[in-house]
Amino acid sequence: MLEITDDWEFNVLDVYNYRKAGKFKVLFDFIRRRHHSIQGDIVEAGVFRGRSLIAIGMLLKELGSDKRVFGFDSFSGFPPVYDRKDALEEFDKLFSRNEITKSHLERVNKNIEWRKQISDCEINVKNISSSQDFSQTNLDLVKRKIELVGLDNIILIDGPFSKTMSSQAQVPEEIMAVLIDCDLYASYLQTLSFVWPRLSSGGLVYLDEYYSLKFPGARVATNEFLAGKDAHLRRVENSKDDFERWYLNKPI
């Protein structure tokens, strides 16, 4: 594996620096602590340009682990059709159901207004992210970065989740940890339905958009999926960045 030590090197390669505190700290710390004691591979749903995926692969190599990382993505950006639960108006419904706070809703509205002012257009789920509809994803780029770093523990699963997350597809039978970073209602629901039965006892699922100011469907799907299940949804304490971070553990 290519030796990368300085922060600027991670930045040039656009790889998450897992050696310093950041938004994925709870996930990487979990892998460090539990890779020997919890069975299964790692899954990432929503690869984009491989920033976190490659970092996970690098950490596993450093740990001397034989676990693999499965990266699921369509590598074509957002789908052409969105669920109605992805509409920004869904935030108001979340607030009316006491599923987000007034402070959260105020941040959502401020984010929408600021983005409207600087872009001079109506803001919706297709353009509210700085990455727009994620069409800048690039499968060949991710493959080149994996080869450059020298990793052989990453398996890229290219295609819509409805097809790739199935019993017939090339999927891990056991999962230790999951990073869900796929933004939309249907993608979150599909991923949770796929990974939960395969997740080992004590396993961790990191929910990148559960607090989101941009994608309400992620929280809606998560709350719907967890209803009636024995799962422990937790907020990351003392987060060092701008947003709350959430994850859940599967009971032992």
CATH number at residue 162: 3.40.50.150
Range of the domain at 49: 7-79+135-249
**Residue 129 located in a structural domain:** no
pLDDT of residue 57: 98
pLDDT at 154 over 90: yes
**Residue 237 located in a structural domain:** yes
User: Quick one: average pLDDT of 107-132?
Assistant: 88
Exposed, middle or buried: residue 21 (CB in 10 Å: 0-12, 13-18, 19+)? Answer: middle
**Residue 89 located in a structural domain:** no
Q: How many domains does the chain have?
A: 1
How confident is residue 171, by pLDDT bands cut at 50, 70 and 90? confident
User: Quick one: average pLDDT of 48-53?
Assistant: 95
Half-sphere exposure of 179 (CA within 13 A, CB side): 27
pTM, 2 dp? 0.94
User: Quick one: average pLDDT of 186-206?
Assistant: 96
Exposed, middle or buried: residue 18 (CB in 10 Å: 0-12, 13-18, 19+)? Answer: buried
Do residues 191 and 218 make contact, with C-beta atoms less than 8 angstroms apart? Answer: no
**Residue 108 located in a structural domain:** no
**Residue 70 located in a structural domain:** yes
Do residues 135 and 46 make contact, with C-beta atoms less than 8 angstroms apart? Answer: no
For residues 192, 195, 196, 200, the Cα torsion angle rounded to the nearest 10 degrees is: -150
**Residue 176 located in a structural domain:** yes
User: Quick one: average pLDDT of 104-116?
Assistant: 94
Tell me the per-residue pLDDT of 92-106, one tens digit each, with 9 for 90 and over: 999 999 999 999 999
